[in-house]
Amino acid sequence: MDAVQDVAAGKRARGLDRAFEILEFLRQKRQALKPNEIAAQIGAPRSSVYELVNLLLQNGILEFTGGEGRVYLGRKLYFLGAAYENHFDFTRECEAALELLADETRETAQFCMLDGNKYTVVRMREGARPFRISTDVGQSVPIPWTASGRLLVAHLSDQEILNFIPPQDFRLPTGEWLDPQSFIAEVRQAEREGLFTFNSIVDSFTHCFAVPVRGEEGHAAATLCLVTPRDDGLANRDHYLDCLKKAAANLDQAPMRPKRSLP
């Protein structure tokens, strides 16, 4: 009997893993897809994907959209996310820091973290310039493409960094390859200086600034960033870094913890 129960529990666990894989795949693709398209692209049995998609549809985790049986992330996920944010004081602190940064610099301010072995923008406030720079919040980007990435992996050893970042992520948007050892040298520079700035690898007209927001263990749990027009960023470098460091210091003192319950 125990063996039968263990097999059933194993099947449920694999099914749950597959359901999360479907949700993560749709998040990455950012478009509605048919279940058979999902199955083909994640390399899963069609029957399992159809069964899980139907279960997720019944619970509002997925919704039909775009016609022809296509599905995408459902509104239930929005309510779950809202409940999570309501549970944490840090979210409000982060929003205030970004608003202050955008007001002080007139540039686009971002709060960024790792999502697995990728970089993502978690929160953003656009600047007040007529020409605005923005990005897709929640989109996963290879770590070596970003200024923040140098800070977010700085607590790892050189070999741990190479093990953590997929080799293909060192291929830049231009098609050129970034030498992993050059990347590690920049990581160590960022670690020593407590900041990293560079002309964006992703586009040719912006300059990026990043400073760490340190977690309880003392390393960068997140970053605060400014994305600026290249010439303006270079001309105002010291001022922008001062603003970022002050904002990050305030967030360092507001750890990412749940709100205290009322007595």
Structural domains of the chain ordered from first start: 1-85 (1.10.10.10), 87-250 (3.30.450.40)
How far, in Å, are 91, 117, 120, 184, 220 from residue 190 at the CA level? 26, 19, 19, 10, 11
Residue 191: strand, helix, or coil = helix
User: Quick check: 240 pLDDT over 90?
Assistant: yes
Who's near 123: CB < 8 A, 6+ residues apart? 94, 95, 98, 110, 111, 137
User: Quick check: 158 pLDDT over 70?
Assistant: yes
Can you tell me which residue has the tokens 């993560």? Answer: 24
User: Quick check: 92 pLDDT over 60?
Assistant: yes
Who's near 48: CB < 8 A, 6+ residues apart? 15, 18, 39
pLDDT at 7: 45
User: Quick check: 81 pLDDT over 90?
Assistant: no
pLDDT at 89: 59
Task: Name the more confident of 78 and 12.
Answer: 78
pLDDT at 260: 43
User: Quick check: 164 pLDDT over 80?
Assistant: yes
pLDDT at 172: 92
Beta-strand pair 108-115/71-73: unpaired
Q: What is the mean pLDDT of residues 244-255?
A: 80
Of the chain, the percentage scoring pLDDT greater than 90 comes to 58
Q: What is the mean pLDDT of residues 220-242?
A: 93
Task: Name the more confident of 139 and 240.
Answer: 240
What distance in Å separates the CA atoms of residue 64 and residue 224, rounded to the nearest whole number? 36
Q: What is the mean pLDDT of residues 28-52?
A: 91
What tokens appear for 253 in the block?
A: 């003192």
pLDDT at 196: 97
Of the chain, the percentage scoring pLDDT greater than 70 comes to 84
Q: What is the mean pLDDT of residues 14-32?
A: 88
pLDDT at 239: 96
User: Quick check: 8 pLDDT over 60?
Assistant: no
Task: Name the more confident of 192 and 80.
Answer: 192
pLDDT at 253: 57
What tokens appear for 193 in the block?
A: 């200086």
pLDDT tier at 102, thresholds 50, 70, 90 = very high
Q: Which of 75-79, 82-86, 161-165 has the highest mean pLDDT?
A: 161-165
Lowest-pLDDT choice from 40-54, 76-90, 178-192, 232-246: 76-90
What tokens appear for 146 in the block?
A: 């970003």
Q: Please classify residue 250 by burial: count the beta carbons closer than 10 Å to its beta carbon, then call 0-12 exposed, 13-18 middle and 19+ buried.
A: middle
